[in-house]
Chains A and B, each alone.
Chain A
Amino acid sequence: MDLVRVRDDVWGREVLAGVSWDLLWLVLTAAFAIIIAHLLLMAVLNRKARPSAAGKKLARHAGVDRAFHWITAIATIVLLVTGVFPIIGINFPWLTPHWIAGLVLTVAVGLHVVRSLFFQDPLAMWIAPSDLKELAGGDVKTAKYSLAQKGMHLGMAVVVLVVIVTGLVLFLAIDTPWWNRTNSIDEATLGWLFLLHGASTLGLVGLTALHIYFGLRPEKLFYTRSMIKGWISEHEHAAHHDAARWSPEETR
């Protein structure tokens, strides 16, 4: 199995052409292997009663953050469908919805970066040394976000930023309502762009599969609900979070 695709350029020199799409199946296999292993593990280990959703409702996600999450989610799914399906032989006019979804993702991520840097605590999602004790297992209560959530966010942030930056440059090479395509990007540069774009796409495929799985896990569903409705219950907070590190306000 190759890691990258190489081709001869117009001068006969070997240049990168992009990531090897054989890796797509490796990524999908790895993601599903992790999911199956986790399913089996949790079936054996996870016998705890889940905390009630009744009682006081504590604010977890503001409306604007929830909107960002779901806009990003939809854009990402559209990008993956339009980007990956043609690679596996499902052909349709994919390019226009692909770049539109890419622009939506870019704007959403841009706004999110501004909001998180200047209007929220940017360190809330940063992995701190105190988070690492979660690795030891047991019933460690976390701050607003667990180590796993921070890790997922960090991973997503890296691949999404790479996919956006490379996608924006590649955007110049297609016709849009605002400009006609350029073909002035040389083949070696294009190869690197496609390599990074493809590699980050593979990362996005794997992380998205895991993110959806964990979002649908029964013991995690209250986090998904909080991403829809904005709140978790006081019992859920007490069961999973350290009030000293994260003490949300009550909401309606």
Chain B
Amino acid sequence: MTSYDVMPATELYQPVNIEDATALAARLGRKGWLLGGGQDTYGWLKDRAKRPDAFIDLTGIDVLKGIRSLPDGGVEIGSMTTITEVAQNPLINEKFTLLSAAAKTVASPQIRNMGTLGGNLCQDTRCWYYRRGLNCYRAGGNICYADSPEGMNREHALFGASRCVAVTPSDTAPALVALEATMLITSASGSRQVAAEDFFVGPATDILNMTALQADEILVSVRIPRKWADATFYHEKVADRNVWDFALVSLCAAFKEDAGQITDARLVAGGVDCVPHRLREVEQAIIGQPRNETTGEAVKVRATSAATTLNYNQFKVPLMQNLVLRALRG
């Protein structure tokens, strides 16, 4: 596929308030493209694999930036806040280290400086067949090349495949699902809140999009409730490289313990499903158990009991099980 040195000519809108941005989004619909730090966007454009009519650059809208305390003790993060800010923010580092730990593993320092939380959450999948611009299911076609007999699918899904086997590339999404965050979404016709767990959608529901955002909607902020503040967290990301790479498997875990026993837990894996993958079986099995190696050994296989492997991603099964073991070993 030809790659080009210059960007294609495209309209650029740079609204400075959310009202203008939502009006533009409503007017342009699917022909418009919401632009944050551009770290996902520019690759698409440079390769000519996607060609929106217009960009709506959201980085000039101040209300979409920053990290604020919420009255309930939680935190609200604007969608245009950079990943670096999320990783370094004292409030998040004090209460929700799971998120800051996940944010610190996003790509590279340069990309974290430019990339935004909203962009990291809404970025498209990295399936190389799809990114190459092939007409696969996710691109509106009739076939999944990654799941074909000759398909190279080492990075692809263990769970939730429905015609498409792509996985979520976001490092921060599993952390936010584990923290029971809520997404605040707005459009010209009003605002709504969506639980992080429902914000990400798999191919069974919508094979063309990875989030519940409609064409005219903008992600304004992410609200993390106080519920998991100061819980015990575990985060680990396994990738082929330690920087500037997407997760093969990642695990975000939050535990509440009392008298040496786990009283509540959320474990969410990245890189194994089109959405952040809740390990519900594991969560249920460890309630009332101590957080130690014995518990980890006993429950780790439950993490992958529903896994369906592809030709080249069987290694993710023991990898995922070992991450669960390490999370419980503490």
Contact = CB atoms under 8 A, between A and B. Distances in A.
Contacts of B134: 10
A91 B149 contact: no
B149 A184 contact: yes
B149 to A, nearest CB: 6
Nearest to A91: B206
Interface string A1-34: 0000001111000000110000000000000000
Main secondary structure of the interface of A (DSSP, over half): loop
A243 to B, nearest CB: 54
Contact of B308 (A7, A93, A180): A180
A183 B142 contact: no
Interface in B253-299: none
Contacts of A191: 142
Contacts of A175: 161-162, 308
Contacts of B151: 183
A174 interface: yes
A93 B205 contact: yes
B145 interface: yes
Nearest to A180: B308
Contact of A17 (B142, B147, B161, B163): B142
Chain A: interface residue count, which band? 20 to 34
Contacts of B149: 183-184
Contacts of A95: 162-163, 204
Interface string A94-111: 111000000000000000
Given A7-B141, A18-B142, A183-B149, A174 B135 contact: no
Chain B: interface residue count, which band? 20 to 34
A173 interface: yes
A41 B134 CA distance: 51
Contacts of A180: 308
Interface in A212-240: none
A18 B143 CA distance: 12
A196 interface: no
B148 interface: yes
B204 A93 contact: yes
A138 B67 CA distance: 78
B144 interface: yes
B205 A190 contact: no
Contacts of A7: 135, 140-141
Nearest to B151: A183
A165 to B, nearest CB: 17
Contacts of A18: 142
B21 interface: no
A195 B254 CA distance: 48
Interface string B144-174: 1101110100000000011100000000000
Contacts of B145: 10
Given A8-B135, A174-B163, A183-B151, A92 B142 contact: no
Q: Which 3 A-B pairs have the closest CB atoms?
A: A7-B135, A190-B142, A91-B206
Interface of B: 134-135, 140-145, 147-149, 151, 161-163, 201, 204-206, 308
5 contacts: A91-B206, A93-B204, A93-B205, A95-B204, A183-B147
Interface of A: 7-10, 17-18, 86, 91-96, 173-175, 180-181, 183-185, 187, 190-191, 194
